[in-house]
Amino acid sequence: MSLLAVGISHQTAPVSLLEQFAMGTDDTVKALHELVGTDHVSEAMVLATCNRVEVFAEVDRFHGGVTEVSRVLARQAGATVEELSPYVTVHYEDQAVAHLFTVAAGLDSMVVGETQVLGQLRNAYALAREQGTVGRALHPVAQHALRVGKRVHSETGIDKAGASLVSVSLDHAEERIGPLAGRPVLVVGAGSMGALAAATLSRRGAQVTVASRTAESAARLAAAVDGSTADLDDLPAAIAAADLLLTCTGATGLVIGTEAVASAMRGRAGRPLAVVDLALPRDVDPAVAGLPGVHVVDLALLQGERTALLHDEAGGQPGSLAGAVAADDVAAAHALIEAETALLRAERQAAAVAPTVSALRSQAAEVVDAELLRLSTRLPDLDARARSEITRTVRRVVDKLLHEPTVRVKELASTPGGVDYADALRELFGLGIDTDVPAGGGRLAEAVSVDPDDLRPGGAA
């Protein structure tokens, strides 16, 4: 069994494609059970955020696992694996572990160093545990990733510049309309992102109004930030009263159309309006950006800025995206991740050879028992004391013969290629072999060689 990570994120795909992967809790639960119901996936965890959908799975076959996970992702996006392959990344074993740790630390986020993804990973793990789709393999990996994420933020300087997506978006909004302190802000959506947005806005001194499909949720969030509530049925009036509209619902279609914003603008006497859309798929009609006096900040804008930042840094120019992290802090975070990846590798490899050691000792015990039984039938008159001494001697000899190879295979398991020694031990003693180990990871099209027609949703296995 081996760890596999297959996913799509802002690093490889445009926001327009990420929108097709938007997953609510029910969608995630369905995907989890679909994954573990396949032939090659035994455990699975799905991390679905506004910037990524990634599956971390324990599989018994690399190519079979990639194929099955890819099919589930393709069905979720309403596409074919062939269409998605340029954007999907595949990581295997150590690379999968390092990738998960990097994600948990916020180093793979649109805003490097942000902490929100750590909470999202914690929720993804909790949901997988609740659904029974994580077991002995993924439990320690997920728990280790959460610890690594905390360590990176507490032991490196990444938090000095790291910021959440909400904070960066609000920085952009303030550049357009000025400081938010004392200004009216409408938050549409009372989920986890809405709660983070409301809390961040409150800390900046804004007057927060919350609107949600569930009145109770809106009231609870508004009370937490000393704010008020608004009715979704009267959005134009609520928008007209606000200087900033921040929306982050879990809806699958547009929530705020162009006419609603245009109607609100007619009653604002020329006051500009900042619109921050952090939903995936987007809540606000893209045409809203064309209205006079409206300034839109969305995930596509932030993704474009991050791409430009990386391009500037590659060319030796200073980046400009808010939340950029000093190179030394990033290097320290990566060094910690590398050390933790090696530590987990040693733990996983030690666990991987344990069944071999157990099987070898069980086989030896069976041989000893069979030979002692044979001896008792051939020498039925052997007295009890002699029989007991012979039994102890034979078992002691076998234990001494097995001691060195079993101790050494455990020690060697923590070294590169150490599991190969366990494979050799299983082959030499006829304990059975089960391997399917490719190397490395990368894009889907490079990592798995199969006929794309066979990977279409509903196609041949």
Q: What is the per-residue pLDDT across 128-185, written as a single tens digit (0 to 9) for each?
A: 999 999 998 999 999 999 999 999 988 987 766 556 788 889 999 999 999 999 999 9
pLDDT at 415: 66
pLDDT at 162: 54
What are φ and ψ of residue 327, in 5° steps? -60, -35
Mean pLDDT of the chain: 83
Residue 421 pLDDT class (50, 70, 90 cuts): confident
- Give the active site residues: 50
Q: Worst-scoring range by mean pLDDT, 95-109, 337-351, 376-390, 447-461?
A: 447-461
Instruction: Indicate the burial class of 265 (C-beta count within 10 angstroms; 0-12, 13-18, 19 or more).
Output: buried
Q: What is the per-residue pLDDT across 244-256, written as a single tens digit (0 to 9) for each?
A: 999 998 887 899 9
pLDDT at 418: 61
Question: Nearest 5 degrees, angle CA 304-CA 17-CA 14?
Answer: 15
- All structural domains of the chain: 2-162+440-455 (3.30.460.30), 165-314 (3.40.50.720), 350-428 (no CATH)
pLDDT at residue 456 above 60?
Answer: no
Q: What is the per-residue pLDDT across 368-419, written as a single tens digit (0 to 9) for each?
A: 889 888 888 888 888 888 889 999 998 899 888 888 877 777 777 666 666 6
CB 279, CB 189: distance < 8 Å: yes
CB 268, CB 277: distance < 8 Å: no
Question: pTM of this prediction?
Answer: 0.66
CB 388, CB 361: distance < 8 Å: no
Residues 6 or more apart whose CB falls under 8 angstroms from that of 315 comprise none
pLDDT at 308: 55
The residue with greater pLDDT, 186 or 456, is 186
CB 413, CB 421: distance < 8 Å: yes
Average confidence (pLDDT) over 30-55: 94
pLDDT at residue 115 above 90?
Answer: no
